[in-house]
């Protein structure tokens, strides 16, 4: 395999796992193309392919509707016939065939179980083995062990489920120097480790940007990612327009009750409509996987408010982010993008894999974490693992600098998601009223991520 050999990227995106894997892998693929390397995406189904092509098309200039023109001569995509996004071992035989493993070698792997250890990587020289980047939460040790015998493997990890047997491991959590030795001791099987925020895979439009600070904020971004399974955007907008709790009334048991009763929450009353902020506009991003019902409800609400703007079909959020003075975002790569652009933000989570990421930004004093929007009936790690034992202190009372600790507004281990919306509204009120705090938060978040992580990852892949 020479310098012009293909680098394979195995990932997926669909209505169940959303689109985050695809987006960050596209960022890495573009960085590989910048280094004159060919890339081939491997996906499990037509839904993943459709989403991939949609995101890729939006990021590629001067293309036509033809697939050949869409991908160009150095990029391609393939749907694996035997693959399922949540059962990766099903596709091993097909991958080995794709990588042109000799029959005498592949025959050692009839079941692709732990017995795959019988296959030695000595069957290939390193230069003969293809490079495969994997981004999936469903990988198993057996899957990775099998592939590592015939390919130079790289894996993007968010969960630390086990010690991944790969050549190159990427974990771009916010990792302090104190935490790094513990992380290194966990990942012992990988030959090379890329740890920390400097390896955050962002697109090129997030590098070398000088943030703009406006004394009077004008635009607030609201995004839950590619999907909104818990109706976050609608619930937050409803709360912001002052229909959540009323003074002296009983607390609704859920946001569904609040929506039906129209109760008012006094401390955030009228942020959407208060005369003090007549120029403030809320920009709500509706992802590709929002349900029709959610979209209809948001359109109905927006039709009654001139300061709510809905954005649908966006795959490049950078221009909108640069326009905004504050942001409310689900934890994930979007937080890294906001940091790179210097947009002060607050995060929330709605999946287990997002929690540690949100806590990392919170502990760094860069993006406060409001909590998890799943309620006490959800099957998440949120209620058990929302804080580390060293956290204390309240964000609103005193914006933390690099010497302070603490989770946003003290202990956020609530059994109801209602508190999350309250914290977000308190954050907005504080940021709107205190430009000094907003500027401090902008500087802190901007210092964490420089937007050049994709290029660093691409260079590491090319060196395998």
Do the domain assignments include residue 254? yes
Cβ atoms 335, 444 nearer than 8 A: no
54 shares a domain with 198: yes
Do the domain assignments include residue 396? yes
224 shares a domain with 162: no
Instruction: Write out the two tokens for 63.
Output: 């293309």
**Which residue range is the domain that position 408 belongs to?**
209-446
User: Residue 260's CB: how many other CB atoms inside 10 A?
Assistant: 10
Burial class (CB in 10 A: 0-12, 13-18, 19+), 383: middle
User: Residue 404's CB: how many other CB atoms inside 10 A?
Assistant: 12
Domain count of the chain? 2
3-state helix, strand, coil in the chain (%, to 5): 40, 15, 45
| 178 to 183, 194, 385: CA distances (angstroms) | 10, 16, 20
**Within 13 Å and on the Cβ side, how many CA atoms surround 196?**
16
222 shares a domain with 154: no
The string of DSSP letters for 300-331 reads HHHTT-TTEEEEES-S--HHHHHH-SEEEEES
How far apart are the C-alpha atoms of 420 and 225, rounded to whole Å?
17
295 shares a domain with 217: yes
β-pairing verdict for 168-171 and 152-156: parallel
How far apart are the C-alpha atoms of 242 and 265, rounded to whole Å?
6
How far apart are the C-alpha atoms of 159 and 202, rounded to whole Å?
19
Q: What is the pLDDT of residue 5?
A: 82
The string of DSSP letters for 9-34 reads EEE--BTTTBSHHHHHHHHHHHHHHH
283 CB-near residues (< 8 Å, 6+ apart): 219, 220, 221, 222, 309, 311, 320, 323, 324
Burial class (CB in 10 A: 0-12, 13-18, 19+), 398: exposed
Q: What is the pLDDT of residue 88?
A: 97
Long-range contacts of 405-410 (CB under 8 A, 24+ apart): 405/363, 407/359, 407/362, 407/369, 408/346, 408/362, 408/368, 408/369, 408/370, 408/371
What spatial distance separates the first Cα and last Cα of the chain, rounded to whole Å?
A: 12
pLDDT < 70: residue spans in the chain: 1-4, 60-70, 101-126, 242-276, 375-417
Cβ atoms 268, 240 nearer than 8 A: yes
271 shares a domain with 254: yes
Buried b (16+ CB within 10 A) or exposed e, 146-176: bbbbbbbbbbbbbeeeeebbbbbbbbbbbbe
CA dihedral 66, 70, 76, 79 (to 10 degrees): -60
271 shares a domain with 188: no
Do the domain assignments include residue 141? yes
236 shares a domain with 278: yes
User: Which DSSP category does 241 fall into?
Assistant: T
Q: What is the pLDDT of residue 55?
A: 87
CA dihedral 448, 449, 455, 456 (to 10 degrees): 10
Do the domain assignments include residue 308? yes
419 shares a domain with 397: yes
54 shares a domain with 41: yes
Do the domain assignments include residue 1? no
221 shares a domain with 127: no
CATH of the domain at 286: 3.40.50.2000
Cβ atoms 288, 50 nearer than 8 A: no
CATH of the domain at 10: 3.40.50.11190
118 shares a domain with 253: no
Do the domain assignments include residue 134? yes
218 shares a domain with 186: no
CA-angle at 246, arms to 245 and 249, nearest 5°: 100
């Amino acid at each position: 395999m020479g310098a012009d050999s293909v680098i394979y990227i195995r990932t997926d995106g669909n209505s169940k796992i959303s689109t985050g894997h695809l987006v960050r892998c596209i960022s890495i693929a573009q960085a590989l193309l910048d280094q004159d390397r060919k890339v081939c995406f491997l996906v499990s189904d037509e839904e993943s392919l459709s989403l991939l092509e949609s995101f890729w098309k939006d990021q590629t200039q001067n293309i036509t509707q033809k697939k050949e023109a869409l991908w160009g001569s150095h990029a391609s995509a393939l749907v694996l016939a035997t693959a399922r996004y949540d059962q990766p071992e099903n596709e091993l035989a097909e991958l080995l065939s794709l990588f042109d493993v000799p029959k005498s070698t592949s025959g050692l792997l009839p079941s692709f179980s732990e017995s795959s250890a019988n296959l030695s990587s000595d069957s290939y020289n390193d230069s003969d083995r293809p490079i495969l980047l994997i981004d999936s939460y469903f990988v198993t040790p057996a899957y990775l062990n099998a592939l590592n015998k015939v390919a130079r493997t790289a894996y993007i990890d968010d969960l630390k489920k086990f010690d991944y047997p790969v050549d190159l491991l990427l974990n771009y959590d916010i990792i302090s120097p104190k935490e790094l030795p513990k992380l290194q001791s966990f990942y012992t099987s990988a030959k090379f480790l890329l740890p920390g925020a400097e390896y955050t895979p962002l697109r090129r439009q997030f590098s070398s940007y000088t943030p703009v600070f406006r004394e009077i904020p004008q635009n607030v971004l609201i995004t839950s990612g590619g999907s909104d399974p818990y109706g976050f955007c609608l619930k937050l907008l409803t709360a912001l327009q002052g229909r959540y709790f009323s003074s002296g009334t009983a607390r609704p048991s859920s946001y569904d009750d609040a929506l039906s009763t129209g109760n008012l929450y006094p401390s955030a009353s009228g942020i959407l409509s208060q005369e003090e902020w007549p120029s403030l506009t809320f920009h709500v991003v509706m992802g590709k996987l929002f349900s029709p019902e959610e979209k209809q409800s948001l359109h109905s609400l927006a039709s009654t408010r001139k300061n709510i703007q809905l954005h649908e079909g966006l795959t490049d959020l950078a221009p909108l982010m640069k326009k905004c003075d504050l942001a409310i975002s689900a934890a994930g790569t979007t937080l890294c993008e906001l940091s790179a652009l210097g947009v002060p933000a607050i995060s929330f989570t709605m999946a287990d894999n997002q929690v540690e990421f949100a806590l990392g930004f919170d502990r760094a004093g860069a993006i406060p974490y409001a909590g998890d929007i799943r309620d006490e009936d959800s099957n998440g790690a949120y209620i058990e693992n929302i804080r580390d034992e060293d956290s204390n202190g309240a964000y609103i009372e005193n914006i933390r600098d690099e010497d302070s600790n603490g989770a946003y507004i003290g202990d956020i281990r609530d059994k109801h998601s209602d508190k999350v919306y309250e914290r977000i509204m308190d954050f907005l009120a504080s940021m709107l009223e205190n430009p000094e705090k907003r500027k401090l938060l902008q500087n802190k978040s901007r210092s964490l991520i420089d937007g050049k992580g994709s290029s660093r990852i691409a260079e590491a892949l090319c060196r395998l």
